[in-house]
Amino acid sequence: MKNSQFKAPLIQSAIILGGVIIVLALIASSSSGTENGGPGFFSSVGSLIVLMLGLAFSLVFSLAVLIAVFLAAVGMVDGDTAKGMYSNLRKNFAKDLLGCKEWSCATTERR
């Protein structure tokens, strides 16, 4: 099974989710009582940017917590295995991070 098989539905769902968030932000700003889409629109765009930054931060934080809980559980059973998993995670994360020199990691091929 190819990795690119799942790429199109993932991109489509991200576009739909982004569109829904933008529409909801615009609807929320329309009741601000301003005329001709004035400051209410710019306020909603600012709120949308803050929302996206918050979602990105919370995603990274929750993944870090889940990885830490997993490694702690493995460490309770076998400490050497947890150390090996952690070192492999650091090595692979650094390699993948350095491999993403373009704007999107989806265009890089994994070997």
Residue range 38-86, pLDDT digits in tens: 566 667 677 778 878 888 899 999 999 999 999 999 999 998 999 999 9
Asked if the model's pLDDT at residue 22 lies above 60, the reply is yes
Greatest Cα pair distance in the chain: 65
**Domain extent listing, the chain:** 3-107
Compute the distance between CA of residue 74 and CA of residue 68 in angstroms, rounded to an integer. Answer: 10
DSSP per residue, 42-76: HHHHHHHHHHHHHHHHHHHHHHHHHHHHHHHHHHH
pTM for the complete prediction?
0.56
